[in-house]
Chains A and B, each alone.
Chain A
Amino acid sequence: QKEVEQNSGPLSVPEGAIASLNCTYSDRVSQSFFWYRQYSGKSPELIMSIYSNGDKEDGRFTAQLNKASQYVSLLIRDSQPSDSATYLCAVNKSYGKLTFGQGTILTVHP
């Protein structure tokens, strides 16, 4: 079992819809969780971080964490074509080291 698992997609949603991205992790000692967006040929950009169970909202983005289920998700409301990218889920266990999932490719079509 991979430490961090994501559906590789591609996930295709129409413009204006809600995109839902999911991630599960295997190690219960994981402390904090991150969503990064990576455009093709570019480095990852941090878009959300979450530490506590529940929801965290920032603009069009909402991160959800359920430690009991070892599950973290990212919702993107009012999806735009510019949101088309690969979304990486990352988990921090200790010493600041991140373990990344394989990424979910999101395509938002007009």
Chain B
Amino acid sequence: GAVVSQHPSRVICKSGTSVKIECRSLDFQATTMFWYRQFPKQSLMLMATSNEGSKATYEQGVEKDKFLINHASLTLSTLTVTSAHPEDSSFYICSARDLGGGLYNEQFFGPGTRLTVL
């Protein structure tokens, strides 16, 4: 159980284009999903919290107009990197919290999407 998928796993795009990344919880419902970014040899940095049916909450310093998040259902959240530039190249990882939650509020991570902007 608690499987989260991401698509695509790897994408290479030209500067100025937009890229959409999908995050799905496969065997549970997730009212909340989280989007992280990880640069080489660094830890995960939370970008935004995605709530089903409402606007995402962005962390300080993250441009909401550049990183568009949509959480249209209890099993799907999407992150669109608009007008991507080389500095946006990174490993983007989503996580989902089981609606059942439990005591620990555990998050389960997708496999990640490696974005390279040329």
Q: Which A residues form the contact surface with B (CB < 8 A)?
A: 31-32, 34, 36, 42-46, 49, 51, 88, 92, 95-103
Contact = CB atoms under 8 A, between A and B. Distances in A.
Interface string B81-118: 00000000001010101000001111111111000000
B43 A102 contact: yes
B72 interface: no
Given A51-B104, A101-B43, 10 more contacts: A32-B104, A43-B109, A44-B93, A45-B109, A96-B32, A96-B34, A96-B105, A99-B46, A100-B44, A102-B42
Contacts of B95: 98
Interface of B: 32, 34, 42-44, 46, 49, 91, 93, 95, 97, 103-112
Contacts of A96: 32, 34, 49, 97, 105, 107
A32 B103 contact: yes
Contacts of A49: 104, 106
A95 B49 CA distance: 9
Given A95-B49, A100-B43, A43 B111 contact: yes
Given A96-B32, A96-B97, A97-B34, A46 B106 contact: yes
Nearest to A102: B43
Nearest to B45: A100
Contacts of A98: 34, 46, 95, 107
Nearest to A6: B43
Nearest to A92: B105
6 contacts: A32-B103, A34-B104, A43-B93, A44-B109, A96-B105, A97-B46
